Amino acid sequence: MTREKLLITAVELEKKGHRYYSEHAREAENPLARRVLDTLAEQELEHIEFLEALVDGEPYVTELASSSARDEDIERAAREVFEKFSQEEIAGWQLDDESVYERARQMEIMSIRLYSELAEESEDEAEQEFLRQLVKEERRHLESIDNVQYYLQNTGDWLSMQESKRWNWMNV
């Protein structure tokens, strides 16, 4: 597949992700899941913009590669929701639909593979760094999905999960 086709595929994958996250955020009854899915949808829109610029032959967008705060956007959004509710309310939260999270995981894994392949094929060092940053963001998306899914499925087991793999502030 040519670089241009890979980039077009990446744009389509991001558009699909945006639609998917937006739709399921609207349907989610759980406030934590709704906020995380909304934030993922917002970030997919940004990815679309960045990738379309590359398709159009523009240089990569430096804001993505230079913004370290972006890694924490999803976690920050989840934490804001978490802090708005009482312990009793949080204890009653349920996983809306497990298949939503499994499908989201698969989309993120596909994105990671695609951006990794594009980075390897690129001969431009700056573009490689940009694509590696996209890979990093997609991995963070995957981690966020896993955190929310695991928390809602296994709240009782949350504390026993390896600390480096969870958002510790959820330990209430």
- Are the beta carbons of 163 and 156 closer than 8 angstroms? no
Listed residue (24, 37, 26, 18) closest to 111, CA to CA: 18
Q: What confidence score (pLDDT) does residue 34 get?
A: 86
pLDDT category, 127, cuts 50, 70, 90? confident
Q: What confidence score (pLDDT) does residue 65 get?
A: 45
The CATH number for 90's domain is 1.20.1260.10
Pull the structure tokens for residue 92: 């009653």
Residue 68 above 50 pLDDT? no
Rg (CA), the chain: 17
Mean pLDDT is highest, among 94-98, 120-124, 154-158, for 120-124
The span from the CA of 125 to the CA of 59, in Å, is: 12
Listed residue (132, 134, 113, 123) closest to 3, CA to CA: 123
Residue 3 above 50 pLDDT? yes
Q: How many domains does the chain divide into?
A: 1
Please report where in the chains the tokens 């960045």 appear, as a residue. 50
- Range of the structural domain that residue 43 is part of: 3-170
Could you tell me the pTM of the whole model?
Answer: 0.77
Pull the structure tokens for residue 120: 């390897």
Q: Which residues contact 14 (CB under 8 A, 6 or more apart)?
A: 44, 47, 48, 51, 111
- Are the beta carbons of 9 and 1 closer than 8 angstroms? yes
pLDDT category, 20, cuts 50, 70, 90? very high
Q: What confidence score (pLDDT) does residue 142 get?
A: 92
- Are the beta carbons of 14 and 47 closer than 8 angstroms? yes
Residue 136 above 60 pLDDT? yes
Q: What is the dihedral of CA 49, 140, 146, 98, to 10 degrees?
A: 0
